[in-house]
Amino acid sequence: MESHLDFHAARALLEWQVELGATEAICDAPVNRFDLPEAQPRAKPATPAADHPPAQAPVEAPDPALVARDAAALAADLEGLAAAMAAYEHCELKRGAKTTVFADGNPAARVMVIGEAPGREEDMQGKPFVGRAGQMLDRMFAAINLARDAARPDAALYITNILPWRPPQNREPTPEEIAMMLPFVERHVALVNPDVLVLMGNVSCQALLGRKGITRLRGNWATALNLPALPMFHPAYLLRNPHAKREAWNDLLMLQARLREAR
């Protein structure tokens, strides 16, 4: 490349640099030492090998109803079934309940009453139907000479609920709660093997008949778990609606007649 400087200008510049002390040429072109070098990208540090093994796929939670069915099937007697229910950990209601309400009455009774769920008094005492509704129930069945404390099977009652734990604020059980506890109820009925089931209220009808609407269901015999079943008003309903006691009395007479026929 030709220089744009003529001979005399180049020589004058060279002599000026010599006077400044530059006596040796290092590069073909001048270097500006005040220019900043272009920033070079930093190399990323090598990622250390992970100390932990790769994450495993999440394990699916077991179906609560299947767990209940397996536990109930292993129960050889009522004592074993009560223990299986007390050990069951898949129902959230258990965490808020004081006790597991299993049953009351004579297991040899011809009549097995199935209610909905414990209330406050039942949760405190650990027995079904002991509050105001329970007192109403005892009076109802005493009218046809049946009692939970009777020694003779033909005069006795055996009482339980669909759920063994009290729902918060006595709310109605959810379909999921009913489904997970149903295997225990089915095994309970099989172990007691009564002549007749009495289904008290909508929840027990929904669980064992697959239908609701107690005002339509009551007064008509049905079949539940291969046994004759009579839907009846829940005693709590009768406390709120005394006018329905006439229908409840008719249902009790139907039950009494059925028991006499089956002797």
Q: What is the pLDDT of residue 40?
A: 58
What does the DSSP assignment read for 51-99? Answer: SSPPPPPPPPPPPHHHHHHHHHHT--SHHHHHHHHHH----THHHH-SS
Q: What is the pLDDT of residue 21?
A: 65
Q: What is the pLDDT of residue 42?
A: 64
Spans in the chain with pLDDT lower than 50: none
Rounded-to-integer distance, Cα 63 and Cα 57, Å? 18
Contact 81, 184 (CB under 8 A): yes
Contact 103, 115 (CB under 8 A): no
Q: What is the pLDDT of residue 12?
A: 72
Burial class (CB in 10 A: 0-12, 13-18, 19+), 149: exposed
Q: What is the pLDDT of residue 6?
A: 72
Domain boundaries, the chain: 64-261
Closest by CA to 259, choosing from 185, 188, 153, is: 153
The percentage of residues in the chain with a pLDDT greater than 70, rounded to a whole number, is 80
**To which H or E segment does residue 200 belong?**
strand 196-200
Q: What is the pLDDT of residue 262?
A: 81
Residue type, 220: N
Strand 157-161 to strand 222-224: parallel, antiparallel, or no bridges (unpaired)? unpaired
- pLDDT, tens digit, 9 for 90 and up, residues 246-262: 999 999 999 999 999 98
Q: Quote the DSSP letter at residue 108.
A: T
The pTM of this model reads 0.77
The CATH class that applies to domain 64-261 reads alpha beta
- pLDDT, tens digit, 9 for 90 and up, residues 67-106: 999 999 999 999 999 999 999 999 999 999 999 999 999 9
